[in-house]
């Protein structure tokens, strides 16, 4: 997660836009893999989505877009359904799926750091 956080400290190029989509997805997946969840609703993912949005996009959005994002959180899938979709419907244990995602993210961040 520290490697991803360093991305936030790099100044943005004046003449170029940066694609924040991969960073948003990586922070979201890291948040899920790190076991961050809402104590009262552990199968919901708004905590993870809010963290990723806050780190990657919130500072670029107006107040109204931020409120639309908060409303869109109600459409977020359950964590169990999301992990089942990641495993393409295969009968994979949640811990095994999260371990594979964590391995993918470690390799992804190492590759991005080299680039």
User: What's the pLDDT at 29?
Assistant: 85
Task: Compute how many other C-beta atoms are within 10 angstroms of the C-beta atom of residue 28.
Answer: 20
pTM: 0.67
Listed in sequence order, the residues at least 6 apart from 78 whose beta carbon sits closer than 8 Å to its beta carbon are 43, 44, 45
Matching residue, tokens 């992804």:
108
Count H helices and E strands in the chain, helices first: 6, 0
Query: Is 8 a member of any domain?
Result: no
State residue 82 phi and psi, 5-degree precision: -65, -45
- Domain extent at residue 47: 20-114
Local confidence pLDDT in tens for the 115 residues of the chain: 444 455 555 665 555 556 667 777 888 888 888 887 778 887 788 888 888 888 888 988 899 999 999 999 888 888 888 888 888 877 878 888 888 888 888 887 777 766 6
> What is the number of domains present in the chain?
1
Residue 111, classed as helix, strand or coil, is helix
Q: Which of 7, 27, 45 is nearest to 105 (CA)?
A: 27
Query: Is 12 a member of any domain?
Result: no
Q: What is the CATH classification number for the domain harbouring 97?
A: 1.10.3520.10
Query: Is 15 a member of any domain?
Result: no
Query: Is 10 a member of any domain?
Result: no
């Amino acid at each position: 997660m520290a490697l991803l956080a360093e991305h936030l400290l790099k100044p943005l190029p004046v003449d170029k836009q940066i694609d924040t989509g991969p960073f948003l997805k990586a922070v979201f997946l890291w948040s899920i893999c790190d076991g961050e969840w809402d104590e009262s609703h552990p199968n919901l993912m708004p905590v993870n989505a809010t963290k990723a949005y806050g780190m990657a996009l919130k500072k670029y959005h107006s107040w109204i877009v931020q409120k639309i994002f908060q409303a869109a959180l109600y459409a977020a899938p359950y964590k169990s359904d999301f992990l089942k979709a990641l495993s393409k419907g295969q009968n994979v244990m949640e811990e095994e799926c999260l371990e594979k995602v964590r391995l993918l993210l470690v390799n992804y961040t190492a590759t991005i750091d080299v680039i």
